[in-house]
Structure 1
Amino acid sequence: MRIEVDDLRVAYDGRTVVAGVNLLAAPGEITGLIGPNGSGKSSVLRTVYRHLRPAAGRVLLDGTDLAALAPARAARHVAALPQERGGDFELTVREVVAMGRTPYKRAFAGEDEKDRWIVADALERVGMTRYGGRRFSALSGGERQRVLLARTLAQDPDVLVLDEPTNHLDVRHQVELLALLRAQHRTTLVSLHDLNAAASVCDRLHVLHAGEVVASGSPLEVLTPHLLAEVFGVRAAVIEHPLTGDPLIAFDHTATATETPS
């Protein structure tokens, strides 16, 4: 399914943080939001998974305004992994993942065989099968992140919305998570701070700066030395990754974009 953000504006306490944003997440593709801290990435994503009500504009799911859908119906289509992880669930890992099946259940309905299979598959996909009986609150930050990703997969959505999903993960699990996203072939909207991760996993990038989209296109089209200097304030060269052929950003750690190296 396709997600379109149409002329979106988001405001907090009268201050506009997202101003007239238009973007597209195409069916089956991974679409990345990148930009400096405070650029509006999380605010855009929160409107997509209906945590925030926009001051103006719409989020469309295959042409239908998501705001017009009942919560359970919307949750069958869109699953989110937000930055705000919530409290320490006094539940087992398996029970947390099983929460992803809630949109499909009537009140007080128990699990059926399909639910159990989907939950087990989601745990296996994120490498957490043997943790199923552990308390979620006893896990490390990286382990919790993987469990919450499993919960979104158990929701079996058409669209995944992920806000900094590689936070708290070590290098191996970052690589595995990005490979997992690639293998899903679901419409995915993801914000990433790691620009090289964005270049490797995303089909399309939207660059946000001061609440506006300032560039859109493929990673090769978007990630130029000029944009990196203008938006992120860094000096960098963009070369071809020797293993994958993706754009690879080599940062100059001796100077900012406005400084001349000695």
Structure 2
Amino acid sequence: MNVSVEDLSVAYAGRAVVSGVHLVAGDGEIAGLVGPNGSGKSSVLRTVYRHLKPAAGRVVVDGRDVWDLSPVQAARQVAALPQERTSDFELTVGDIVMMGRTPYKGPFAGDSATDRAVVARALAQVGMAEARSRSFSALSGGERQRVLLARALAQDPDVLVLDEPTNHLDVLHQVELLALLREQRRTTLVSLHDLNAAASVCDRLHVLHRGRVVASGTPHEVLTPELLAEVFGVRAAVVEHPLTGDPLIAFDHRSPAGAAAGTVAGDVSAPAARPAAATPAGPPPGVTEPERVP
């Protein structure tokens, strides 16, 4: 199922934080959103899972604007793992994951055999099957993250939206989660701060800066030393990963970048980068540096 964000603009208290954003995720594709803090990644994702209504533009899933769908239709198509989440649930792990089955139940309906099987499978996929009876509030941050991902998987959506899903995870569980995303082959939009993780898991990357998409393409096309210096303000070499062949970024922790972060005056396109065919180029100028949105 395809996802297309078309000419999207988002504002908070009258202040533009995203303007004229175009990006896509093809059927079964993992599309990553990367960019500095405050670049608009979370704001874009919130419009996709209907937590935030755009000021302009639209989000199209399978040919329909998500805001034209009923809440139940939208929940069956799109599941989210947002950054902001409650940590004081006095429920069991199984109860939390069963919430993902809500769009498939009628009013006051109990849990069916299918619901229980889907929940068991989702917990097994994230390595939390043995924790089904544990209290959610007693889990570590990483364990909670994995349970909430299981809840999204139990929703059985066509599209997954994940905002910094590797937060709180140790290295092993980060690797396992990214491998799970690739195995799913489900249309996915994911924001990641770890650029090497993004390079390894994403089929397509969209780079956001100051509320605009400034580069789109494959990780090889997008992650160049020039773009890293201009957008992220870091000096780095990009080499081939010896095990996977993905781009591997080696950051220079001793010297600052030649171009400081935040100096992009217009659209950034690395010399070797080519915009993805389905991604319109040329977002409009004029967006001021947004404040960090929690």
Normalised-by-shorter TM-score class: over 0.9
Superposition TM-score, scaled by structure 2 size: 0.87
1: CA distance, partners of 2:86 / 2:220: 36
Residue number in structure 1 paired with 2:183? 183
Q: Where does 1:214-253 land on structure 2 (aligned, <5 Å)?
A: 214-253=214-253
2: CA distance, partners of 1:86 / 1:80: 14
The answer on 1:96 being equivalent to 2:99 is no
1: CA distance, partners of 2:248 / 2:10: 33
Deviation at 1:87, TM superposition (A): 4.0
Residue number in structure 1 paired with 2:153? 153
Residue number in structure 2 paired with 1:2? 2
SS of the aligned residue for 1:234 comes to coil
The answer on 1:15 being equivalent to 2:30 is no
Superposition TM-score, scaled by structure 1 size: 0.98
Residue number in structure 2 paired with 1:121? 121
1:143-171 Cα shifts (integer Å, max 9, x gaps): 00000000000000000000000000000
2: CA distance, partners of 1:21 / 1:111: 41
SS of the aligned residue for 2:152 comes to helix
2: CA distance, partners of 1:3 / 1:249: 28
1:54-98 Cα shifts (integer Å, max 9, x gaps): 000000012111100000110000000000012411100000000
Residue number in structure 1 paired with 2:79? 79
Gaps of 5+ in 2: 260-294
Residue number in structure 2 paired with 1:162? 162
2: CA distance, partners of 1:256 / 1:146: 36
2: CA distance, partners of 1:109 / 1:62: 29
SS of the aligned residue for 2:144 comes to helix
Residue number in structure 2 paired with 1:25? 25
Deviation at 1:256, TM superposition (A): 1.5
Q: Percent identity?
A: 76
Q: Which amino acid aligns with 1:101?
A: R
2: CA distance, partners of 1:157 / 1:64: 15
2: CA distance, partners of 1:86 / 1:161: 18
2: CA distance, partners of 1:43 / 1:32: 14
2: CA distance, partners of 1:95 / 1:64: 32
Deviation at 1:121, TM superposition (A): 0.2
2: CA distance, partners of 1:155 / 1:100: 4
1:5-39 Cα shifts (integer Å, max 9, x gaps): 01000000111000000010111010000000000
2: CA distance, partners of 1:113 / 1:249: 47
SS of the aligned residue for 1:255 comes to coil
2: CA distance, partners of 1:86 / 1:110: 24
Residue number in structure 1 paired with 2:133? 133
2: CA distance, partners of 1:178 / 1:60: 25
2: CA distance, partners of 1:29 / 1:47: 19
Deviation at 1:258, TM superposition (A): 2.8
Residue number in structure 2 paired with 1:255? 255
2: CA distance, partners of 1:27 / 1:70: 22
Which has the larger strand fraction? 1
The answer on 1:48 being equivalent to 2:35 is no
SS of the aligned residue for 1:6 comes to strand
Q: Cα RMSD over matched residues?
A: 0.7
1: CA distance, partners of 2:157 / 2:118: 12
Residue number in structure 1 paired with 2:174? 174
Q: Which amino acid aligns with 2:126?
A: V
The answer on 1:62 being equivalent to 2:62 is yes
SS of the aligned residue for 1:33 comes to strand
